Structure 1
Amino acid sequence: MANYVDLVDLIVRRLVTKPEEVSVAEERSEAGAILITIRVAADDIGRVIGKKGSTINAIRHVAKAASIKSGEKVDVDVKED
């Protein structure tokens, strides 16, 4: 089983200007799906989402690619503090 929190945290901290304000949390549903929630400073939300959502979609693709071997369903969401 991959550690999706560490993977997403590594990527997001490299993107933002305030890496100390980044927090990544994992929540598992009863059905077995994993939701990764990213919280960043208001100034950095645009950097994480990207133009037309391209950056967050790329992060989602990386997380899903990491989950293929274990067969888990992973989704990534961004929340603004």
Structure 2
Amino acid sequence: MKALIETIVNPLVDYPEDVDVTVEETDYKIRYHLTVHEQDVGKVIGKNGRIAKAIRTVVHAANTNSSKKVFVDIM
């Protein structure tokens, strides 16, 4: 899942080397923390949050083999 997020985000940003995804997992949820360069935050969020919502939708759809809730936080 981490590789999926990186694959989606890397073409969107100007500084792909600064893309970092960390995982925090508990009993009931998996939280992915996406960190990008400060100039790329707007590109990842998109106008009215459309790109961020699309990233979250793809990650939720790809999480079919787990019963845990998945969250993607953009830092």
Q: What is the TM-score of this pair, normalised by structure 1?
A: 0.86
Instruction: Tell me, yes or no, if structure 1 residue 20 matches structure 2 residue 17.
Output: yes
Of 5-14 and 68-77, more deviation after overlay is shown by 68-77
Separation in structure 2 between the aligned mates of residue 64 and residue 57 of structure 1, nearest angstrom: 10
Gaps of 5+ in 2: none
**SS in structure 2 of the partner of residue 61 of structure 1:** helix
2:48 pairs, out of 42, 46, 52, with: 52
Separation in structure 1 between the aligned mates of residue 37 and residue 28 of structure 2, nearest angstrom: 29
Give RMSD over aligned pairs.
1.0
**SS in structure 1 of the partner of residue 28 of structure 2:** coil
Separation in structure 2 between the aligned mates of residue 24 and residue 14 of structure 1, nearest angstrom: 15
CA drift of 1:46 comes to 0.3
Separation in structure 1 between the aligned mates of residue 48 and residue 15 of structure 2, nearest angstrom: 22
Separation in structure 2 between the aligned mates of residue 39 and residue 70 of structure 1, nearest angstrom: 24
**SS in structure 2 of the partner of residue 71 of structure 1:** coil
**SS in structure 1 of the partner of residue 68 of structure 2:** coil
CA drift of 1:75 comes to 0.5
CA drift of 1:23 comes to 0.4
1:10 pairs, out of 4, 7, 10, with: 7
Query: Residue type matched to 1:8 in 2?
Result: I
Q: Percent identity?
A: 40
How many residue pairs match? The answer is 75
Matched ranges for 1:24-35 at <5 A? 24-29=21-26, 31-35=27-31
